[in-house]
Amino acid sequence: MKERRLGPDGPMVSAVGLGGMYLSIQGRPDEAQAIRTIHAALDAGMRLIDTADVYCHDHRDIGHNERLIAKALKGRRELVVVATKGGLVRPDGAWKRDARPEQLVAACEASLKALGVERIDLYQLHAPDTDVPFVDSVGAIARLREQGKVHHVGLSNVSAEQIDEARRVVPINSVQNRWNPGDRSPEEDGVLAACERLGLAFLPYSPFGGASGARSLGTMERLAALAQRRGLSPHRLVLAWMIAKSPVVIPIPGARREESVRDSAAAGALDLSASEVAEVEATF
């Protein structure tokens, strides 16, 4: 699998990473199956795993995905960069933003414990909180970095302007926004261009459009036909398209089964020409 750098001074990681969310939210597999999926990702060459404290059922289950990943990585931790996030909460299963500095500090401390580490590889602000000044939230993570609890800092669900605002507070390595064939806003709102200009890793989440989008890719007749001609799944072709679009892109598809994660990982070995990229886009 090809490798890409996780930001200007970050480590090299696989061109495709694993998103951990589906292993811990509603419909999650049992623990043994989840661990087999994570091990399959490692065996397939994935060297980046993305998680969050709120990948769980509700507030009583906070940190489930982080604990699961820590358990799966025992004996193999040095192989992988683990990225997690703070800034959301799960009261009774709802998804709510809470990026107050004191909440972020508490969330980071809990994530350190859940992951079983002294320093988090990449800590990301999960989303700006409209009730909290953005620089206050970023400043809290900057202080965690100064204290040695966070190595690199990332942002999620942000605008190009917020990227610049955050960089005035702390060095930024990555941006994680939604991007898929049905939502190409990072190409239009300047976020992807900003990442390219600054050398930041762009980690598109929901690269298939979520669980429903992943199911519908096979029903997109032109995309499915193009993938079939190349002997690929539509999902692998979409990931290859993303990787070919920009040298800073590192998609992080989720998976519940070993077969899914192996198919996604194989996209990291594909090369698409500019004409093939255009041919894929024409099917969307």
Check pLDDT > 90 for residue 22.
yes
- CATH topology for 3-214+248-270 is TIM Barrel (3.20.20)
As a whole number, the mean pLDDT across the chain is 96
Q: Is 123 a catalytic residue?
A: no
pLDDT value of position 210: 86
The structural domains of the chain, with segments of one domain joined by +, span: 3-214+248-270
Mean pLDDT of 224-234: 94
Mean pLDDT of 125-138: 98
Check pLDDT > 90 for residue 223.
yes
Check pLDDT > 90 for residue 220.
no
Mean pLDDT of 155-162: 98
DSSP, residue by residue, the chain: --EEESSTT--EEESS-EE-GGGTSTTPPPHHHHHHHHHHHHHTT--EEE--TT-SSSGGGTTHHHHHHHHHTTTTGGG-EEEEEESEE-GGG--EE---HHHHHHHHHHHHHHHT-SSEEEEEE-S--TTS-HHHHHHHHHHHHHTTSEEEEEEES--HHHHHHHHTTS---EEE-B-BTTB-HHHHSSHHHHHHHHT-EE--BSTTSHHHHHHHHTT-HHHHHHHHHTT--HHHHHHHHHHHH-TTB----B-SSHHHHHHHHHGGG----HHHHHHHHTT-
pLDDT value of position 211: 82
pLDDT value of position 179: 97
Check pLDDT > 90 for residue 18.
yes
Active-site option among 22, 55, 123, 205: 55
| pTM of the entire predicted model | 0.96
Check pLDDT > 90 for residue 79.
no
